[in-house]
Amino acid sequence: MDFNYLTTIIFLPLAGAIIVAFVPNLHHKVIKWISAIFTFVPLALSIYLFAIFDRSVGAIQFEEKLSWIPTINAHYHLGVDGLSLPLVILMTFLGFLVVLISWKIDLRPREYFAWLLLLETSILGVFCSLDLLLFFLFWEIEVIPMYFLISIWGTGRKEYSAIKYVVYTLFGSAMMLAGILSLYFATGSLSMVDIAQTGLATFTAVIPVAAIFFLLLTGFAIKLPVFPLHTWLPDAHTDAPTAVSVVLAGALLKMGGYGMIRLCVTIFPQVAQQYAPLLVAFAIVSVLYGAAVTLRQTDLKRLIAYSSISHMGYVLLGIFALGQVSLVGATLQMFSHGIITGLLFAMVGLVMHNAGERDLRKLGGLVRQMPIIAVVFSIAGLGALGLPTTSGFAAEFLVFVGSFTSTVVSGIQVYTILGVLGIVITAGYILWMLQRVFYGPVLEKFNGVKDADILERVYMFAFVAVIMLVGIYPAILTDVIKTGIMPIMGLLGA
Amino acid sequence: MNLELFLPELTLAAFAIIVILLDLVIQRKGWLVVVSLAGVVVAAGFTIIMWGGSSQAIFNNMLAVDNFALFFKLLFLAIAALVILASVDYVSKFTRFQGEYHALVLLSALGMMLMAATAELISIYIALELTSISLYVLVGFLKDPKSTEASLKYLLLGAVASAVLLFGMALVFGFTGKTQLGEIAQAIQALSLSGVLASPGLILGIVLMIAGFGFKIAAVPFHMWVPDVYEGAPTPITAYLSVASKAAGFAIILRVFYSAFGLPQWLSLDWGMLFAVLAAIGMTLGNVVAIPQTNIKRMLGYSSIAQAGYLMVGLATVGFSPAADIVGRSSLLFFLASYALTNLGAFTAIIAISNKLDSDLIQDYSGMGKRAPLLALALTLCLISLIGLPPAAGFMAKFYIFSGAVQHGLLWLVVIAVINSVISAYYYLRVVKVMWLGEPASEEKVPSSGALRLALSLSCLGVLLLGIIPGYIMKLAEVAAKMFVF
């Protein structure tokens, strides 16, 4: 019997959460150390998996399968392929770093770290599940820790934002549940692998195939988010505590993109091709609308939040251009956005924490007080606008090349060019933001504001190293992603 | 005739009498709890021994002893045991009538066990009345104005419902000439479609029976009694009403409609559609009206109306599916089991909290996460289960029951149901929010007795088990649904 890597990776954070929550009288330092250990080991294990991942075959690896509920033919079925492995690494990486980012939390630390660890387990479970019921179970669990994390440790209108997040997510998953149930009875199976392989040959649906496609897509589109289903995002992001914003932007949104590729495109290739023009149009609207709205934000955190909508538009564009390069680009963009926006939120958190201000109109000249934060913030910002040598460039370049050359959607070249315009707007708001926060006249009220301390420098360095590594040598990830995309291209008949 | 098959019921009846007599002679009333629990355990033991055997009928085909009935008997006994445990603190405050309280709990459990087993109209009515009359008394047990009002309301409306049911039964008997369910089925199948349409009395009888049973399961529009009775009754009895009485109602509906009105297909499609419509109305009304409630018992009252709506999705599935298909019935049984554990858990936590607070207002639960972290955690788990989120039992139950409905072309109903689950999240989470986000009114801890903690841990353990590894219970439900004869 092989070692069950994936089970270990998924459930170690949960074990940590249970220890933190139920062992009485833990000092809050001990709680933080436990959390750090129980997230570091999954990170190390997932990097090890990445190292021994067989890049020569496009297959599910490290598979685990046990019968779970025989009555409805559900299995405890885990596995990763080139599509999900980068996202697993993304989550374990962020999972460990957010513990460091949260090191200064002293409001009810026991509950905070328990929920944070549970959140990591549920997101990892979503990326690793190959059974629809298991996938849906992990997808739903995530709502509970998010609700508590936003509503207790958030700021501003936190309770409103938290319940808005919950209602949106549950509405999306309600649609998904209807889709999954229809799919289950159309095929008699809950296994994503089996359904994708047998295709829709034995399909006896109660409703049209396209309807199932859209039921599932609605759930994923809310999570990604796609205009016009995005309105929960700015509120949730703005009011969430820093670490939760990092996980939310970094890994949670990717559940939407991952689900679209894993379920919508893989199981319904024909339907996806049929509706690709419509979805590409939505992608471009998301890109441009998101960027335009970002341009006029005055709240630092809200600005970064809105930028996610525009960046996730590129993911949607890459997915529904349905070309090999564009799909690889979309996956890489998910990874890259996770790291870059994660870092941006962490930096916003530091500026807010140290300077006590996040209104762009009142900030300025901070480069004098916090030079290190200024440099790292700028690197993250340049990554977000896609400067070469950052991962953002590699990802967006692949998305644009891939969708420009895609043959599925006629006239996609026009859409792509419109999408590239988004980059220009992005450059506008990123540079404007950096200038407003760090440059300009030195303000007296910020005298004595501190720069990053040692711990903060450690995680900043980790983020920047990954951004640069992937930017300079993207093949380290694209080689793996390609093995996950190839089988999908086969299904698409390309 | 084989009296051994009647042993669980006989045991329970005997222990109920022993409890009343013992109450006269002993001073330490704690023993009453022990004796009642012993009765439940012995009855459950007899039931378990019979499990898995072939179906039999006793008393001239009046009672069925099949796995379906045994499943429900075990469920009722488990509920009764948890209710007795949860009542310990509550009852110890009574100066008189402690013996009667426990005896009535046992007697109503007996009535429900009979309800699950009866296969004949007259005995159905008798079993129903045995259950109801015990419950009328229990609801009024506090003898304060609210409790008395609740009891009176329950009694009057219950009597009307019984009358309607009886009238329905009379009509069905009039058109078929039979009272035994299997014989009614044969008589109906012998009728031609035009013969039935020419004299709609049979259909009227069926509809009236739905109305009569609908009262028991708190289906809209027969739900008016629910909020007041739930609020006024002693909290353990509210818990008992909300799970056991409802489960018994569903048991009897399943048996009557499946075995007497299951064929011909057009008839079952008709009542299936009727249940589907009642389900849609029930869950929507229950959930929407629950939102503005300020009293947690009232809120859970409306929530139970909504849950009855989800359960009726299962009944609709039974109506829409061919007789051989068990998914509708087994998912309904599974849902009932998980709902019972969840609601009992929630009410047990409420009993513990309101013992201390002397209040059932949601706002008074403020800061309960600090004053009683484990109680608050347990209540949170149960509320999450009621929303239908994993890892709790409610998630699996909804998945299972909705999957059956989708299979039989009720996707529209499932879409209404899942949207309703989203609405319900709003008011369930409001309680969670108050408990964990609110500031405590005082720093005083909330104590709970050992019996309460035992009942609460058992329910929560069950909720988690059914949510994470439901395979075994689903298998039991399938066996129970399969063996369903007559």
* Total residues found in chain A within this entry: 494
Residue B381 in contact with residue B464, Cβ under 8 Å?
Answer: yes
A191 phi, psi to nearest 5 deg = -85, 125
Q: What is the mean pLDDT of residues A314-331?
A: 92
A246-278, pLDDT tens digit by residue?
999 989 999 999 999 999 998 888 888 889 999
A69 bridge partner residues:
A74
Question: What confidence tens digit (pLDDT) does each residue in B90-146 have?
Answer: 888 877 888 899 999 999 999 999 999 998 999 999 999 999 999 999 999 888 888
Burial A469-484 (b: 16+ CB within 10 A, else e): ebbeebeebbebbbbb
Under 8 Å between Cβ of A116 and A243: yes
What is the model's pLDDT at position B294? Answer: 92
A152 Cα to chain B: minimum distance (Å): 6
Kindly give the pairing relationship between strand A74-80 and strand B56-58: unpaired
Tell me which DSSP letter residue B242 carries: I
In B438-470, which residue ranges form alpha helices assigned H by DSSP? 450-468
What's the pLDDT score for residue A206?
63
**pLDDT given at position A1:** 46
Q: Which residues in chain B come in under a pLDDT of 50? A: none
Q: Is B10 an 8 Å CB contact of chain A?
A: no
Run of H or E residues at A74: strand A74-80
Query: Could you report the per-residue pLDDT of A3-54, keeping only the tens digit for each?
Result: 888 999 999 999 999 999 988 888 888 999 999 999 999 999 999 999 998 8
Chain B CB within 8 Å of residue A196 CB: no
Residue of B332, B407, B432 to mutate, testing the A interface (most A Cβ within 10 Å of its Cβ): B407
Q: Which residues contact A22 (CB under 8 A, 6 or more apart)?
A: none
In one-letter notation, the amino acid at residue A325 is: V
Residue A415 has pLDDT above 60, yes or no: yes
Cβ <8 Å between A137 and B419: no
Which residues, including other chains, have CB under 8 Å from residue A24's CB and lie 6 or more apart?
A: none
The answer to whether B271 contacts chain A (CB < 8 Å) is: no
Q: What is the DSSP letter of B358?
A: -
Which DSSP letter does residue A444 get?
A: G
Q: Does the beta carbon of B465 lie under 8 angstroms from any beta carbon of chain A?
A: no
What's residue B267's pLDDT? 84
Give the minimum alpha-carbon distance from A451 to chain B in angstroms, rounded to a whole number.
33
Interface contact flag, B402 A177, Cβ < 8 Å: yes
Domain locations in chain A?
Answer: 274-494
Over residues A451-464, the mean pLDDT reads 89
DSSP reduced 3-state for A63: strand
Q: B414 and A178: CB-CB below 8 Å?
A: yes
The answer to whether B295 faces chain A, any CB pair under 8 Å, is no
* pLDDT averaged over every residue in chain A: 89
Q: What is the mean pLDDT of residues A215-244?
A: 90
Interface contact flag, B407 A185, Cβ < 8 Å? yes
Question: Which residues of chain B neighbour A159 with C-beta distances below 8 Å?
Answer: 433, 437
Nearest by CB: A181 against B391, B414, B437: B414
- Cβ–Cβ of B406/A133 closer than 8 Å? no
CB contact under 8 A, B395 and A178: no
The size of the A-B interface in CB pairs under 8 A is 91
Q: Does A151 touch chain B (CB under 8 A)?
A: yes
- Complex prediction ipTM: 0.89
Task: Tell if the CB–CB gap between B425 and A170 is shorter than 8 Å.
Answer: yes
Tens-place pLDDT, residues A59-74: 888 989 988 988 888 8
**Nearest residue, CB atoms, A151 vs list B384, B414, B437:** B437
Q: What is the mean pLDDT of the segment spanning A132-157?
A: 91
CA distance A351 to A436: 13
Give the separation between CA B324 and CA B329, rounded to whole angstroms. 11
CB contact under 8 A, B418 and A69: no
Amino acid type, A260? M
d(CA B441, CA B362): 13
Compute the 3-state secondary structure of chain A and give helix, strand, coil in percent, each to the nearest 5: 75, 5, 20
- For residue B129, the distance in angstroms to the closest alpha carbon of chain A comes to 36
Q: Which residues of B touch A75 (CB under 8 A)?
A: none
Nearest CB to A137 within list B395, B429, B469: B395
Phi, psi values for residue A61, rounded to 5°: -125, 165
Q: Which of residues 61-80 of A touch B (CB under 8 A)?
A: 67-72
Which three-class secondary structure state does DSSP give residue B337? helix
Nearest to A182 among B406, B419, B422 (CB): B406
Chain A residues within an 8 Å CB radius of B432: 147
